[in-house]
Amino acid sequence: MKKIFSVIFLSISFISFSQKRIVVGKNQDNGKYIDGHSFSYKPGDTLVLEAAQNPYTYFAIDNFHGTKDKPVVIINKSGIVKMVNGIAINNCTFIKLTGTGSTDKYGFKIEDPTWNGVGIDVSGRSSDIEICNIYIHNKTYGFWVKQEAACADSLQYPNWVISNISIHDNLIVKMGQEGMYLGSTDPYGGRSVMCNGVSISPIPLRLGNIKVYKNIVDSTWRSGIQLSGAQFGQSEIYGNIIMNAGFELNTIQGNGISLGGYSHAHVYDNIINNTFALGILMLGSGLTIIEHNHIDSSGYLAGKITNGMAGIMVDTRPTQPIENTQVQIKNNFIGANTDHAIRFYQTYPTFAKGNIICGNSGDIKVASGIDWSGCK
């Protein structure tokens, strides 16, 4: 029995010593950049930012890799860590960024009086990242999860998928553009870059299995949550509160939730109030399910009224190769709007058969030629 206890003790001791808490200092510019290639750490280690060192300008990591069972954790300590520029995560896998290191609900506060930059930026060959309990205020973008067209083959479709990104329990207030900009809005490769003196138009990296839930997004100049190019798996957007979207007063930008080209998603249990444009815009492909959302005042924002704004609007966009679109819109409450509660267009004739629209409040307008039915 004594031998067994000794083995257990040694095992526990090994675990405690093998996973470290590393307090991260900062440079003279009040920021910190760390490259995992030249930094001593192991999967399961925790990088600690202390509130006692406030204020920070930025915190950025590159080439850090945890494992599924032992992610690298980034956490605050002893209060709210305050930052101006934001946090960047590039070429990283199995990372958890969390503001739960103190009793504060949001242990990181990223705020810029000049409204510049991105609060949280995830880019490059990144995947399996969880981000929670962050307060972002007065930035251009709250979250930016994407990799635009790049010269390196490794950063071009189809050579990587930015996947398994979880964004939850964050507060995003007053963004100069989107609250969340997830995926490139040009998934077709229409944006050129100069590479060794030659202009090329590579297809940017696509996304997969993105989960966005239990966030509050309030007062954005463009859309609240925008997901594009999420072609792989089935992304989820649920349990969010999105309000006051579209202060740029742009009729094609101020939506509550926007699903761009190639996106497959399940959108449910969200509250969306007061959007200059649409409550939910769906332009994706494959199967998308939109259900149990509460959408009100689409086309109504701060005394402005925009005509032609539906609670939920669906249309098609081209894909290569052609991927048919199938939609289920079920049991949504749709209140005031300036068009129809639900409207289907068909810019490209790529709707699959068997679309479902049922149990929603408000009226429906569906373009001719689209096969749909109520609930069975």
Q: pLDDT tens digits, the chain, 376 residues: what are they? A: 444 444 444 344 344 446 899 999 999 999 999 999 999 999 999 999 999 999 999 999 999 999 999 999 999 999 999 999 999 999 999 999 999 999 999 999 999 999 999 999 999 999 999 999 999 999 999 999 999 989 999 999 999 999 999 999 999 999 999 999 999 988 887 788 999 999 999 999 999 999 999 999 999 999 999 999 999 999 999 999 999 999 999 999 999 999 999 999 999 999 999 999 999 999 999 999 999 999 999 999 999 999 999 999 999 999 988 899 999 999 999 999 999 999 999 999 999 999 999 999 999 999 999 999 998 7
> H or E stretch including 11?
helix 2-18
pLDDT (0 to 100) of residue 149 = 85
- Residue 36's SS3 state is helix
d(C-alpha 259, C-alpha 257), whole Å: 7
pTM to 2 decimal places: 0.94
Q: What is the dihedral of CA 374, 228, 239, 250, to 10 degrees?
A: -90
Q: What is the dihedral of CA 327, 333, 338, 341, to 10 degrees?
A: 40
d(C-alpha 40, C-alpha 25), whole Å: 15
Name the amino acid, one letter, at 126: S
Angle, CA of 103, 106 and 107, to the nearest 5°: 65
Percentage helix, strand, coil, to 5, in the chain?
5, 45, 45
- Tell me which DSSP letter residue 55 carries: P
pLDDT (0 to 100) of residue 12 = 41
Cα torsion 312, 316, 317, 321: sign: positive
d(C-alpha 192, C-alpha 371), whole Å: 38
